[in-house]
């Protein structure tokens, strides 16, 4: 098999030496790009964009054509699994994702079928295969899923939430039903991610967007336990002491989960994503890779501000292997495209020194 032209991202995930710090951005394919907004208008609605492999592939490639990024991430949504379970995902303008059907009882959970990733979610695999072909081995392709806890919050709440009262009510008044739901989601996600690996994903991200709303003990029981369960089921090859292109590394990202870094490092993951509330200088280096952690709103600043903050992140991490530069959360939709260019050039140039 032909080697990747740029494998820095995969090397950093395996804590191997690189000539500069690799960079990609959460939500790098999205609304801040004018070409994405045109594609979204062409698709008509967000779900058509996700479910049409040619369009999802195009969205994946748009930021790669524009910027010198070190990894592509497949264009999709974390809520594809609940949608494939029949909950009827739709997007209300200005309000984010919603479900036509919500999960309220143990009986609702029993009714949920585990989706076949090649049938109900086959459009994601088709997009991965097409994007992998179109990338021509230039850079690696990341596959992803939402964490069981995060998917459960949307399924029980019926959409986004500020207070998470419904899911927390279930957690404290009917924990056995919540465990039943999380178990079913774990099995579904493991199947889904294994299908993504088979389709060509070279790295996997698990987004635990809402893990940070849990208490310390609840995080372990209702979020981290299930992410660890998924990792144990992934068919990703054996990690070697030297760099291996056959191994598929896994990154866990719990927004607001920096205080649980040591716990997360025991999950079996290869890398931990951290948000901007974490001081990288306090984290152990070269045992596990670290992804992050620029505040996305820094990109509203001028060139000097962006470069100064890049310097800060790089200095906090220090001269160690195992750093993937990223934002501490997804890029904001009104971010200037020229700010992203400044960011990428600054990371590559400053880290090379």
Asked whether residue 237 is domain-assigned, the answer is: yes
Asked whether residue 214 is domain-assigned, the answer is: yes
Band (pLDDT 50/70/90 cuts) for residue 92 is confident
Catalytic annotation, pick one of 31, 66, 129, 303: 31
For the segment 179-188, the average pLDDT, to the nearest whole number, is: 98
Assess whether pLDDT exceeds 90 at residue 95: no
| Residue 137 designated active-site | no
Asked whether residue 218 is domain-assigned, the answer is: yes
Residue 288 belongs to domain with CATH number: 3.20.20.210
Q: Are 100 and 90 in contact (CB under 8 A)?
A: yes
d(CA 336, CA 150): 29
> pLDDT tens, 250-282?
999 999 999 999 999 999 999 999 999 999 999
Q: Are 261 and 248 in contact (CB under 8 A)?
A: no
Q: What is the mean pLDDT of the chain?
A: 96
> pLDDT tens, 205-238?
999 999 999 999 999 999 999 999 999 999 999 8
28 labeled part of a ligand binding site: yes
Which helix (H) or strand (E) covers residue 306, if one does? helix 303-317
137 labeled part of a ligand binding site: no
- DSSP tally for the chain: helices H, then strands E: 15, 9
Asked whether residue 309 is domain-assigned, the answer is: no
Asked whether residue 290 is domain-assigned, the answer is: yes
Q: Are 225 and 178 in contact (CB under 8 A)?
A: no
Question: Which of 55-59, 159-163, 170-174 has the lowest average pLDDT?
Answer: 159-163
Assess whether pLDDT exceeds 80 at residue 94: no
Question: Which of 50-54, 160-164, 336-340 has the lowest average pLDDT?
Answer: 160-164
For the segment 96-123, the average pLDDT, to the nearest whole number, is: 96
For the segment 329-334, the average pLDDT, to the nearest whole number, is: 96
| Residue 129 designated active-site | no
| Residue 77 designated active-site | yes
Band (pLDDT 50/70/90 cuts) for residue 122 is very high
Assess whether pLDDT exceeds 80 at residue 36: yes
| Residue 83 designated active-site | no
29 labeled part of a ligand binding site: yes
329 labeled part of a ligand binding site: yes
Q: Who's near 256: CB < 8 A, 6+ residues apart?
A: 211, 212, 213, 275, 277
209 labeled part of a ligand binding site: yes
Please state the pTM of the whole predicted model.
0.97
Assess whether pLDDT exceeds 70 at residue 187: yes
41 labeled part of a ligand binding site: no
For the segment 325-351, the average pLDDT, to the nearest whole number, is: 97
Asked whether residue 272 is domain-assigned, the answer is: yes
Range of the domain at 277: 8-295+320-328
Asked whether residue 351 is domain-assigned, the answer is: no
pLDDT of residue 261: 98
130 labeled part of a ligand binding site: no
Asked whether residue 2 is domain-assigned, the answer is: no
pLDDT of residue 353: 78
Closest alpha carbon to 309 in 331, 291, 327: 327
Q: Who's near 105: CB < 8 A, 6+ residues apart?
A: 177
27 labeled part of a ligand binding site: yes
Catalytic annotation, pick one of 9, 32, 67, 77: 77
pLDDT of residue 278: 97
Please give the tally of structural domains in the chain: 1
Band (pLDDT 50/70/90 cuts) for residue 241 is confident
Catalytic annotation, pick one of 154, 219, 226, 317: 154
Structure token pair of residue 278: 């974490």
Mark 275-305 as b/e (b = at least 16 C-beta within 10 Å): bbebebeebebeebbbbbbbbbebbeeeeee
Structure token pair of residue 341: 């260019």
């Amino acid at each position: 098999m032909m080697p990747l032209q740029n494998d820095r991202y995969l090397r950093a995930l395996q804590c191997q030496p690189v000539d500069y710090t690799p960079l990609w951005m959460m939500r790098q394919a999205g609304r801040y790009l004018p070409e994405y907004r045109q594609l979204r208008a062409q698709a008509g609605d967000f779900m058509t964009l996700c479910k049409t492999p040619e369009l999802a592939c195009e969205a994946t490639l748009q930021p790669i054509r524009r910027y010198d990024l070190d990894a592509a991430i497949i264009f999709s949504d974390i809520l594809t699994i609940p949608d494939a379970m029949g909950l009827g995902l739709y997007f209300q303008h200005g309000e984010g994702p919603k479900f036509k059907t919500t999960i309220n009882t143990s009986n609702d959970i029993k009714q949920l079928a585990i989706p076949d990733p090649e049938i109900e979610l086959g459009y994601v695999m088709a997009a991965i295969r097409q994007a992998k072909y179109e990338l021509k081995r230039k850079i690696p392709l990341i596959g992803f899923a939402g964490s069981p806890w995060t998917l459960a919050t949307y399924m029980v709440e019926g959409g986004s939430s500020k207070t998470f009262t419904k899911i927390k009510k279930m957690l404290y008044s009917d924990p056995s039903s919540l465990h039943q739901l999380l178990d079913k989601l774990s099995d579904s996600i493991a199947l889904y991610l294994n299908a993504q690996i088979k389709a060509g994903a070279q790295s996997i991200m698990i987004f635990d967007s809402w893990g940070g709303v849990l208490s310390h003990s609840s995080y372990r029981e209702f979020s981290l336990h299930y992410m660890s369960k998924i990792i144990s089921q992934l068919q990703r090859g054996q990690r070697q002491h030297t760099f291996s292109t056959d191994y598929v590394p896994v990154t866990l990202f719990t927004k607001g989960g920096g205080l649980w870094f040591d716990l997360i490092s025991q999950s079996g993951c290869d890398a931990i994503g951290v948000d901007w509330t974490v001081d990288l200088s306090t984290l152990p280096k070269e045992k596990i890779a670290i992804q992050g952690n620029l505040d996305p709103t820094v990109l509203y600043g001028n060139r000097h501000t962006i470069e100064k903050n890049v310097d800060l992140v790089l200095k906090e991490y220090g001269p160690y292997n195992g750093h993937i530069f990223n934002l501490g959360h997804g890029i904001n939709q009104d971010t200037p495209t020229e700010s992203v260019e400044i960011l990428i050039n600054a990371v590559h140039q400053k880290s090379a020194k």
